[in-house]
Structure 1
């Protein structure tokens, strides 16, 4: 088998780290494309690097298909690409988008409307700007994001139809496909994407065409689309991960946890949320090889109806399955986690799962995490994909990765935010090691949980204590593993739906600085450990696909 690109010692390490983090997220891909373009200058094989740059720009345009600046950079690359790389119809579409996307000189009036409370007036303003063709694509870009946040997909499609005409007409199929996929209609999305590919073929293929087929349950079509993209663009890591999990069956795997389980929750003054969380938890399948898991709820001195909720559920289920622990004062999240971990009853179990008090769990959540534990028994923690419960098009938590610092950056540490750069079309559904997982639903082996020390109470009352613990696990040779085939809903709204309160923002920023300072001397070691784990995992999956005859050897 020919050595893959990620094993080439000449491949720039910053670009390698960016691609290993994932090949989704517009700004992330634009940064990767810029690095590929810089590498092409003076390279032994400039044509190869220009093709890589073009493919990354194409992926960035797929992520945000109305963003004119991406189209402008891509259109400028067409004259120097090898012949046959791009279909003429696609080149014409990109060139037209670049020419027609213009930015208004002044958006002050829109900003004033945005700060007001008259949503109808704001919507009418956007419609008027689109219809009068004054910077129509810019305003359509704004209006579509707003409509998706409101889950008004019909209005979004109507607005797109009014603006995407003439040479831009093929792009309407792309937007309609995206809206259908976000709206839970993957079969319709497949039809729209097929129409786009027939009129203006996306070079290498559309990642979302494979994702739509996966969501529709059409495994053969998903494999066909993902394999075509992986062969054409082997650097498309997200497509390769999705394809490998589909072919291997990891995407559908469920297992029985091999040992006993304690499920640990902590809460403060969120009686209604806790009640809903316990309802979804206690109707889920908590079976393990040692019998059903036991649930422990720590009440951080709530003054609402939380004690009544815990008492009601304790009396409603089998004796001993749920135990309430009430504290006289609120000790914060890190200390609450430590209190639960130190409880003699919790410590009897082989595994400990921590849950937030405002999550919605699918029935098979534990079986999905157990499958991750079976596939990656060496992990320090297994976490999952977290979606906004109010709008599942918004991802809140995925596989966090350490990113290389941009040239001239004053930041000591950058964590990936691919999920925050756009909406969630299914591109985070994979299983692999990473730097950190979101702490509102994660599973530990008890000995590994305690082996690197408890959660650091300097992050009280909350935020980044789970990240800090994950970093210590990685440094101990126990990398976190992300189970992207398990999605839980988180009822705390995303910042895009509800502004972060000033005290939360200040607390988060302060704790971020604590995290940065605490691990200041360890970032290079973390980057190496993360890179080695991610590369080793990708190499194994590419080899699996090659042995199955799906990608080239």
Structure 2
């Protein structure tokens, strides 16, 4: 196969399927929707993707039932998997009344939730609904031992493919890599290793076996080239981008603002003090706080000395105005790079150098961001590479803006990261439409040229995303550095529920953001991003093929046929 044929693989995928696969090849819900789309256009591809969808969440009775409802589909799956899907479909029964369960779940009382799930399993040992709820609880709360415990019970032989698939993940997340590999081997006998290559690569890396990680990902992509997430990760492992660190070439301003979050701010400044800042300077804006923020800043001012510039405002001007204030500080304007950090994050020691490697790889980006995970439960990803998509039923052109609707110009960002836990599936670097404002870095010149953050979106919410949209319109897309992980503190339990005022502000700002950009602009950004993602992926596939990591796609294979 000639090198040009490598690029033709993605060009040849059906136009309704390609955009979804370019987003990624992980997430059970995403894969199910994608597989359904290509049932008519490419039945073989549909079978592969739908099998992957089930493997991603094998105790989900809804997925099992949907697959069983597609005539003759499961007959194309391995026999053990087909039997497993039938067993899950028969034994997953949603109770008529789960109001109490939903109530304690909303309150995030972990002790009550786990106890209640165990009691329900004891009462209904054959109902896999409660097994699934237990696994969801275990993942969301990083209680992976609880998940292993649930999966260590006795199950019927038909269910063992699902048990092995799920157990391999929970064993890995609990740190038992050897047993995880054993479960993966058993699961692969039913599903095929390509459906677990990403997880298996993570296990191999945890065991310091980089060669096996590369081999597993390479084999998966060779067999099923539609696996974009595996391709991106393989490329970065081969090139060493996952461990690369580069000094930022120029002066750096770190910009923070805070309002009445003295405890979180104290921890954030502490993590900054422990990190490798080199010559970077911190600009700290107190946004009219009335708590103990001033005392915290007094103490850290002594620690940082001249490296921290303090700005005290008498009132809270909101996030957008605070960002604009900071970027217009004369000393900041003279810096080459400006990095915004939230006041409730924890950075890793080499975070600036990780951003430096993203700049080295993608020097012309409009903004650089990273993976953001929950501080309490780090397996939960809050944000990764975000891509613009249209909600179901809203595809295609329409009125530029319809102000009579709650969503005047409906679009949203991709949510694949909410469908999985952080098992390494988003450990790659690539362009995207937007990155989270928790940690995002700009070339200061471009930041100043983009007009600042919109005051229409005060006091907070969506101002950073709208700023990214303006960058996209200029062809300066964001870049996601997935090899940098930032911990984001947030309240848990009852304190985490937003007030009616906060929820109303968020909905109002979402409405305003959509009204600020007509549908033609959003559709243009989506089309431009699809082309950008495809070019980026094809470039990486070509590199892997030319260097022998995708041998079946390499130019040499053409002479042997």
Q: TM-score, normalised by structure 2?
A: 0.89
Specify whether residues 376 and 186 from structure 1 end up closer, same or farther in structure 2 by C-alpha distance, changes over 3 A only. farther
Alpha carbons 2:52, 2:195 under 8 Å: kept: no
Q: Which aligned pairs between 1:69-80 and structure 2 lie closer than 5 A?
A: 69-75=62-68, 79=72
Q: 1:378 to 1:248 in 2, by over 3 A?
A: same
Of 138, 144, 147 in structure 2, the residue corresponding to residue 153 of structure 1 is: 144
Q: Is the 8 A contact 1:395 1:420 kept in 2?
A: yes
The structure-2 alpha-carbon separation of the partners of 1:492 and 1:371, relative to structure 1 and needing over 3 Å to count, comes to: same
**Cα contact 2:47–2:73 (8 A) shared by 1:** no
SS in structure 2 at match of 1:432 = strand
Which piece of structure 1 moves more, 15-24 or 258-267? 15-24
From 422, 425, 428, the equivalent of 1:424 is 422
Is 2:188 the partner of 1:197? Answer: yes
Match of 1:399 in 2: 385
1:304 aligns with 2:291: yes
What's the counterpart of residue 93 of structure 1? 84
Counterpart-to-counterpart distance in 2, 1:11 and 1:115 = 41
**Cα separation, 1, equivalents of 2:326 and 2:84:** 58
Secondary structure of residue in 2 paired with 1:162: coil
Alignment check: 8 A CA contact 2:57 2:166 kept: no
SS in 1 for 2:5: coil
Is 2:36 the partner of 1:50? Answer: no
Residue in 1 aligned with 2:466?
A: 468
CA gap 1:403/1:429 in 2 versus in 1, 3 angstroms: same
Moved more, 493-502 or 195-204: 493-502
Q: Return closer, same or farther for 1:97/1:6 CA change in 2, 3 Å cut-off.
A: farther
CA distance in 2, matches of 1:403, 1:258: 34
Q: Quick one: higher RCO (CA 8 Å, sep 6+), 1 or 2?
A: 2
Instruction: Determine whether 1:126 maps to 2:124.
Output: no
Cα deviation for residue 120 of structure 1 reads 5.1
Counterparts of 1:121 and 1:495, CA distance in 2: 13
2:549 counterpart residue number:
550
Give the TM-score taking structure 1 as reference length. 0.90
Structure 1 CA distance for aligned equivalents of residues 67 and 506 of structure 2: 38
CA distance in 1, matches of 2:43, 2:196: 18
- SS of 1:250 mapped into structure 2: coil
Match of 1:232 among 215, 218, 223: 223
Shift of the 112–309 alpha-carbon distance from structure 1 to 2, 3 Å rule, reads closer
Aligned residue in 2 for 1:22: 24
Question: Following the alignment from structure 1 to structure 2, what is the Cα–Cα distance between the partners of residues 222 and 342?
Answer: 46
* 2:529 matched residue in structure 1: 530
Assess, with a 3 A threshold, how the Cα gap between structure 1 residues 473 and 369 changes in structure 2: closer, same or farther: same
Could you tell me which of 196, 210, 214 is aligned with 2:201?
210
Q: Which residue of 1 aligns with 2:559?
A: none
For 2:524 and 2:494, the matched residues in 1 are separated by 34
Unaligned 5+ runs, structure 2: 396-406, 555-561
Change (3 A) 1:250 1:123: closer
The Cα offsets for residues 244-265 of structure 1, whole Å up to 9 and x where unpaired, read as 1111111111101011111111
Aligned equivalents of 1:65, 1:231: Cα separation in 2: 24
Deviates most, 6-15 or 353-362: 6-15
What does the per-residue CA deviation read over 1:288-307, in whole Å, with 9 as the maximum and x for residues that have no partner?
xxxx1111100111112212
Higher mean alpha-carbon deviation, 369-378 vs 449-458, is at: 449-458
Pick closer, same or farther for the CA change 1:11–1:397 going to 2, 3 Å.
same
Q: Deviations over 1:429-463 (max 9, x none)?
A: 11000000011111110111111110001111111
Does residue 316 in structure 1 map to residue 303 in structure 2?
A: yes
Against the structure 1 CA distance between its residues 457 and 115, is the aligned structure 2 distance closer, same or farther, given a 3 Å change threshold?
closer
Q: Which residue number corresponds to residue 403 of structure 2?
A: none
> 210, 218, 221: which one pairs with 2:212?
221
Q: Deviations over 1:162-194 (max 9, x none)?
A: 363322123222222111233344444233212
Question: Aligned-pair RMSD on alpha carbons?
Answer: 2.5
| Greater CA drift, 122-131 or 55-64 | 122-131
Q: Is the 8 A contact 2:410 2:514 kept in 1?
A: yes
Provide the C-alpha distance between the structure 1 equivalents of 2:291 and 2:483, rounded to a whole number of angstroms. 35
* C-alpha contact (below 8 Å) 1:87/1:203 kept by paired residues: no
Taking a change above 3 Å as real, the CA distance of residues 308 and 107 of structure 1, as seen in their structure-2 partners, is closer
Please list, as runs of the form range in 1=range in 2, the aligned pairs for 1:138-537 lying within 5 A after superposition.
138-162=129-153, 164-198=155-189, 201=192, 205-287=196-278, 292-317=279-304, 319-407=305-393, 412-493=410-491, 498-521=496-519, 522-537=521-536
1:496–1:96 Cα change, 3 Å: farther
CA distance in 1, matches of 2:107, 2:388: 38
Listed as ranges, the gaps of 5+ residues in structure 1 are: 41-48
Look up the SS of the partner of 1:131 in the other structure. helix
Taking the aligned partners of 1:206 and 1:483, their CA distance within structure 2 comes to 21
In 2, Cα distance between the equivalents of 1:165 and 1:364? 48
SS in structure 2 at match of 1:442: strand
Match of 1:11 in 2: 13
SS, match of residue 536 in structure 2:
helix
